[in-house]
Amino acid sequence: MPLVFLRSKTRKELLNLPRSTLYIMILIGVILAAHFALWITSLKLTSVASSVILVTAHPLLVGPVSHFFFKERLSFVNSLGIALSVGGVLILVYGNYGFATGTLDTLEGNMLAILGGAAAGLYILGGRKIRKTVSVGSYAFVVYCVGTIVLFIICLLFNAPVYGFSIEAYGIILLMAVVAGIFGHTLYNWSLGHVRASLASVVLLGEPLGSTLLAFAIPWINQIPSQYTVLGGGIIITGIYLTARNTEKSDAT
């Protein structure tokens, strides 16, 4: 909102958006809300390992769809990179959590995680389409506002509390909103205007690796990465590199 209020260029763009583009952005906002609602709810009903694996499998959807519908052609090397990155996530999550907690898994929880991953894939594909013609400020404003409104309605429908938390909880939520939400999501949406949807999707697989490295670097956490983290992280980075190869050539065509 501050960006919209301070930048006349953004306000002018919003007022002149084609109705069809605005409708698509509203739909993307609903999809973003669905992603958060489905995935976060799945964490209560299934193991962390299963939830993370299923929700980060969106490159399997984004890659083929962007290849056939967006004409963002994937080479054999790019496809190999997507497969390697997903395999790296499997190794990293399996090594850190294991599957011994099978009793935590439920069909409902796994289905919610799968649907959350599908919503993330659609969010990426929609963002790639719209960001070719709409600035990141206008795009983020509409999509985030719609996502916020839809999530608030979901909270009301399911009687989910939205107040009464501890000061510490509010602080953590605020940090997540500012750092991961405003900066993380907005920078990611900015990138969708410049790189292929398949690459943007695969790069997100580096999130578990980044979290692990931060947990190691922050003194009061200081969690030493396991050999599975090192192995899986190396495979993820290799997969991202292979997926990014010939990006400029592919984008130009």
pLDDT one-digit tens code per residue, 205-218: 666 667 667 767 77
More confidently predicted of 99 and 171: 171
More confidently predicted of 196 and 54: 196
What integer pLDDT is reported at residue 64 of this predicted model?
76
More confidently predicted of 39 and 66: 39
Rg of the chain taking only CA atoms, in angstroms: 19
pLDDT band at 221 (very low <50, low <70, confident <90, very high): low
172 vs 204: CA distance, rounded Å = 22
What integer pLDDT is reported at residue 103 of this predicted model?
45
SS3 161: coil
What integer pLDDT is reported at residue 105 of this predicted model?
58
What integer pLDDT is reported at residue 209 of this predicted model?
65
More confidently predicted of 151 and 60: 151
253 vs 183: CA distance, rounded Å = 30
- How far lies 99's CA from each of 3, 40, 49, 96, 215, in Å? 45, 20, 7, 10, 22
What integer pLDDT is reported at residue 244 of this predicted model?
66
Check the CA dihedral 214-217-223-229 and report its sign: positive
pLDDT at 72 > cutoff 80: no
- How far lies 188's CA from each of 145, 239, 242, in Å? 17, 19, 20
Q: Establish how many alpha carbons lie within 13 A of residue 83's alpha carbon, considering only the half-sphere containing its beta carbon.
A: 7
Distance of alpha carbon 157 from the chain centroid: 25
What integer pLDDT is reported at residue 253 of this predicted model?
44
Type of residue numbered 215: A
pLDDT at 102 > cutoff 50: no
Query: Where do the domains of the chain lie?
Result: 2-252
What integer pLDDT is reported at residue 147 of this predicted model?
95
pLDDT, tens digit, for every residue of 106-165?
A: 677 778 888 888 898 889 888 888 988 999 999 999 999 999 999 999 999 999 988 899
pTM, whole model, 2 decimals?
0.74
What integer pLDDT is reported at residue 13 of this predicted model?
93
pLDDT band at 183 (very low <50, low <70, confident <90, very high): confident
